Amino acid sequence: MTEIPRKAVQRTAKLASLPLGVAGRVVGGWGKRLTGRSSEEVNAEVTAKTAEQVFAVLGQLKGGAMKFGQALSVFEAAVPDELAAPYREALTKLQHAAPPMPARTTHRVLAEQLGSSWTKRFAEFDDEPAASASIGQVHRAVWHDGREVAVKVQYPGADEALRADLKQLLRFSRLIQAIMPGTEVRPLLEELRDRYLEELDYRDEANNQRAFAKAFANDEHVVVPKVVASSPKVMVTDWITGTPLSAIIREGGVEERDLAGKLLSEFHFSAPSRSGLLHADPHPGNFMLGEDGRLRVIDFGAVARLPDGLPKTLGRMTRLALEGRSNDLLDLLRSENFIREGTVLHAEDVLGYLAPFVEPLRAESFHFTRRWLQKQAERVGDLRSPDSQTGRSLNLPPQYLLIHRVTLGATGILCQLDAHVPARAIVTRWQPGFEED
């Protein structure tokens, strides 16, 4: 494959193979049951093959299809283990791997973006990509001044592919909803569409990364690589090393998991106050733990612009829910348009819905587990439960949607890490409005 398949009909055919493939396997599984195989055995086989097809199709297409797969990989922690296990490995692969483009294609893009004499900018350049992702791949190189650098090169056709994929994925939201029960998929897709389209110009990402690098310069807990050079489809930054959080999730020890969880939480809550930006692409492939115990953060294409930091309203809501002040909480939600005009909700029902979400702040340290997140997903996803009915009656104003998704994504990573995190101290320090009455 020399570049991303561009034609919408070509990409749509691949995406369409997902629901067709699932249907075929279900029919095949029914036939196998008639021959005497157990339903558990057949279901496990069908699920495993479906997971592998999801990875294969999304990975080959790259673009928006793969980016959405990366987003789903965070939310697998909310899915019951018997359903999630086959998808876990397949989706985790999407956090850091995709088929690479040939060296000649990479060289063509570099010449277009950095000039025909681009090789003079580098003392060394490794044609074998060190990492491949959704709309670009990363090469290790040595800059002309001797610095080790990472060179991010966008796939030709990424812009067309991204738009085509996101349009088609909206049509398949019901299928994806079945894979990820408990997650509102369509609003997530629509929000991802808007954010991902912003990532196509690497100059914007470079400016975001410069702002983060400046805010966290010489920080004792976080490392953000400096930008060396940038153009619309190529970006050069300092090279950094560390253990990806995806590896820590698979095989890390307790201390390593807890440290990674603490640093990730602190970064998530402190960045808006320090930089005016929120890193909006939370999946384990974008974070590494260095030998010095500091968190490495990469990929700043998607951000939320929060010049005044995280909204104070969120801090006040959290405090009121934590203290059980149901009437005050209801009044605040109404005044901030979290409850649509004319909607009838009872204060105790709203508190009952929100209180479990602030459970991590009730103790000095909270153990984030998959089971805890699964319980929350089951509670709000069961259409028969009062909490689910209350949740569907609440409104999420557009300005909070991205913050909400990033917080959910970060929480998903914490649960994948199985981390103990001093969440209350972090929120107390960094969430505006939390300490106010």
Q: Which of the residues are catalytic? A: 281
Exposed, middle or buried by CB within 10 Å (0-12, 13-18, 19+), for 409?
buried
| Distance between CA atoms of residues 145 and 159, nearest Å | 32
Six-digit token string for 236:
């050069």
State the residue for tokens 């939480």: 265
Cα–chain-centroid distance for residue 272? 17
CB 153 within 8 A of CB 125: no
| Distance between CA atoms of residues 302 and 196, nearest Å | 7
| Distance between CA atoms of residues 301 and 235, nearest Å | 11
Contacts of 127 (CB under 8 A, 6+ apart): 103, 106, 139
Strands 222-223 and 295-297: parallel
| Distance between CA atoms of residues 318 and 174, nearest Å | 32
Distances in whole angstroms, Cα of residue 5 to Cα of each of 56, 129, 154: 15, 20, 14
SS3 141: strand
- For residue 243, give the amino acid letter: T
Q: What string of DSSP letters covers 174-231?
A: HHHHHHSTTS-HHHHHHHHHHHHHGGG-HHHHHHHHHHHHHHTTT-SSEE-PPEEEE-
Contacts of 89 (CB under 8 A, 6+ apart): 51
| Distance between CA atoms of residues 252 and 258, nearest Å | 10
User: Residue 82: in which H helix or E strand, if any?
Assistant: helix 81-93
Contacts of 436 (CB under 8 A, 6+ apart): 312, 315, 316, 319
